[in-house]
């Protein structure tokens, strides 16, 4: 979030960082904001800010988010956890899609990283051809499980390559991740899908304003890469698909980079999407399953940016533009 704020158009007059007792009193290099001392989190002190970005657990958000935002003098709270995503009264926002629903709201939910990346590509197609159903398969990097997940992948890979072990140890993931893929992210639900997969279904419907029974199916797979989530998306449409029109829409859509030149072997990959603000889209083709009313493509996005920090900062930018927060903010 700090990195994104450093590059943001937001006019931030003052930046404050709150943390736990363990980090309070330490100092952080905040780029153009200088060196900032971490303050012990306190609701009253945090309410002094115009905007509060919550990068915390869902339980912490449930305990404090509404206390931070309530009342005319409360802060705008942009919450990165899953605590409020499915609350009908709290906007769940990808700014390029439904940023207007932030107006008048004090508490905004940031979507799941997988959903945010996929919707950047789905929304232009919905406007063109009207979605009828969506099937998604995701290939999610180890960093989706945080630094411990990346460390387990790195150490496990080293141990196998050095001959120290035949199969890597696993504590973070359900099975060893090096030289493996794991079709299991988050807890399994009664319907056989995992919660990660159902997040895609629930959030696509809410953000795009689709019916509660709109068909979205996802299979989420953990793969042994460090960063950036990849997705294969198959879309059935109400209207006939024009691939050239789809390509033009992707070229013009904000937040998307069209990487689709198979003659030059150019297509989206984690290596090229990592660290980039834009979501890469490519491998566009008409679906052999749905014919003229179907399109298939591949998407890769940096889940730490579009799927989290960048999306949160863009929400604040939209709220500054629509008057929900004053032009110069304290964050």
Question: Which of 4, 204, 218, 229 is the catalytic position?
Answer: 229
Q: Residue 237: beta bridge partners?
A: 131
The answer to whether residues 242 and 315 touch, using CB atoms and an 8 Å cutoff, is no
DSSP conformational letter for 194: B
DSSP class per residue in 281-331: EEEEEEETTTEEEEEEEEEEE-TTIIIIIHHHHHHHHHHHHTTSS-SEEE-
Using DSSP, state whether 137 is helix, strand or coil.
strand
Active site (annotated) includes residue 49? no
Residue partners of 273: CB distance under 8 A and separation at least 6: 228, 279, 280, 300, 301, 302
Active site (annotated) includes residue 204? no
- How many helices (H) and strands (E) are present in the chain, helices listed first? 10, 14
Q: What is the dihedral of CA 314, 315, 320, 321, to 10 degrees?
A: 70
Task: Please tell me the distance from the alpha carbon of residue 87 to that of residue 109, in angstroms, as a whole number.
Answer: 9
Helix (H) or strand (E) holding 40: strand 35-40
Residue partners of 34: CB distance under 8 A and separation at least 6: none
- Say how many residues make up the chain: 331
Question: Which of 4, 49, 113, 204 is the catalytic position?
Answer: 113
Task: Please tell me the distance from the alpha carbon of residue 313 to that of residue 190, in angstroms, as a whole number.
Answer: 35
DSSP class per residue in 201-259: HHHHHHHHT--TT--EEEEEEE-S-SS-EEEEEEEEESS---HHHHHHHHHHSTTEEE-
Show which residues are catalytic: 113, 229
């Amino acid at each position: 979030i700090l990195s994104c704020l450093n590059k943001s158009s937001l006019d931030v007059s003052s930046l404050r960082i709150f943390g736990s007792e363990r980090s309070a009193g330490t100092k952080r290099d905040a780029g153009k904001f200088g060196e900032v001392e971490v303050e012990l989190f306190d609701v009253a002190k945090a309410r002094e800010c115009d905007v509060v970005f919550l990068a915390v657990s869902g339980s912490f958000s449930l305990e404090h988010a509404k206390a931070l935002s309530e009342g005319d003098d409360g802060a705008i709270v942009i919450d990165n956890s899953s605590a409020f995503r499915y609350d009908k009264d709290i906007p769940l926002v990808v700014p390029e899609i439904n940023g207007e629903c932030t107006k008048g709201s004090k508490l905004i939910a940031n979507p799941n990283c997988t959903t945010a990346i996929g919707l950047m590509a789905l929304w232009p197609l919905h406007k063109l051809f009207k979605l009828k159903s969506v099937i998604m398969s995701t290939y999610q990097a180890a960093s989706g499980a945080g630094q411990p997940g990346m460390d387990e992948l790195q150490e496990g890979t080293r141990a196998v390559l050095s001959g120290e072990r035949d199969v890597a140890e696993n504590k973070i993931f359900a099975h060893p991740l090096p030289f493996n893929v794991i079709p299991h992210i988050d807890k399994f639900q009664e319907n056989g899908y995992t919660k990660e997969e159902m997040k895609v279904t629930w959030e696509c419907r809410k953000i795009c304003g689709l019916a509660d029974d709109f068909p979205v199916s996802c299979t989420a797979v953990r793969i042994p890469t460090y960063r950036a989530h990849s997705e294969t998306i198959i879309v059935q449409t109400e209207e006939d698909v024009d691939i050239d029109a789809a390509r033009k829409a992707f070229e013009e859509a904000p937040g998307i980079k069209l990487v689709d030149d198979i003659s030059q072997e150019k297509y989206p990959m984690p290596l090229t999407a990592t660290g980039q603000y834009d979501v890469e889209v490519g491998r566009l083709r008409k679906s052999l399953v749905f014919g003229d009313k179907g399109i298939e493509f591949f998407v890769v996005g940096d889940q730490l940016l579009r799927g989290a920090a960048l999306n949160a900062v863009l929400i604040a930018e939209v709220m500054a533009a629509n008057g929900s927060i004053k032009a110069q903010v304290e964050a």
